[in-house]
């Protein structure tokens, strides 16, 4: 996602009630920060935040953590979050560092419209490559659950293969989520793709 540079982005990020700075200090103790023992769901690459915000509003008994590495995206998305959501936190974090801030405490990971990295030499950068799946193994609490949405068929097929190789059971697979679940909570990217008539691919994998 490319956005114009926001001059006061650091101030916006620093002053947000949702940003957790120095997230590694909460490793293995996120429940203390949320002050409850509810399940924790993570969205890697939260973008403008619509998906995770609406989930936090709809499911108050689940804790949600959005991860985004781009400062300009955060500076645009954070002011759009409503005040006072106690079950939502946001991390400014590169996904490669995810196992440095969580340990055996995550119940679900959402991967929504991740960069498909189409060139073969970039396979390992995909969020469903073995490199990332190994990191997820370290942060899941018990049962591993990953939900993926994409408009990129190649990334979808690749993810089906890598997840199967890592012993995930693919309980839900659809090549047209619009027909199966038209009233779902969507992302901003998803809304754009739907308006163009693009198919949305979806899978749910567990182990």
- Alpha carbon distance 179, 116 (integer Å): 23
Count of residues in the chain = 207
Asked if 22 is an active-site residue, the reply is no
Q: Which residues pair with 202 in a beta bridge?
A: 149, 174
Choose the catalytic residue: 71, 99, 115, 137.
115
Q: Which of 61, 66, 67, 65 is nearest to 39 (CA)?
A: 61
* Sheet bearing 169-174, strands edge to edge: 88-92, 63-68, 40-44, 108-112, 145-150, 201-206, 169-174
- In sequence order, which residues have a C-beta less than 8 Å from that of residue 183 and are 6 or more positions away? none
Residue numbers annotated as active site: 115
């Amino acid at each position: 996602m490319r956005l114009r540079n926001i001059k006061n982005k650091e101030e916006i990020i620093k002053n947000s009630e949702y940003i957790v700075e120095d997230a590694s200090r909460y490793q293995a103790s996120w429940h203390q920060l949320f002050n409850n023992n509810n399940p924790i769901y993570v969205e890697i690459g939260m973008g403008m935040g619509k998906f995770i915000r609406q989930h936090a509003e709809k499911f108050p008994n689940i804790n949600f953590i959005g991860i985004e590495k781009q400062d300009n995206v955060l500076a645009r998305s954070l002011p759009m979050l409503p005040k006072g959501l106690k079950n939502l936190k946001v991390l400014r974090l590169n996904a490669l560092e995810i196992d440095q801030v969580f340990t055996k405490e995550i119940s679900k990971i959402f991967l929504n419209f991740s960069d498909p990295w189409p060139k073969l030499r970039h396979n390992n950068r995909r969020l469903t490559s073995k490199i990332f799946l190994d990191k997820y193994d370290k942060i899941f609490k018990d049962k591993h659950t990953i939900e993926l949405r994409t408009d990129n068929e190649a990334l979808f097929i690749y993810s089906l293969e890598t997840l199967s190789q890592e012993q995930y059971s693919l309980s839900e697979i659809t090549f047209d989520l619009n027909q199966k679940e038209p009233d779902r909570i969507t992302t901003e990217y998803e809304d754009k793709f739907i308006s163009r008539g693009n198919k949305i691919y979806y899978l749910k994998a567990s182990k």
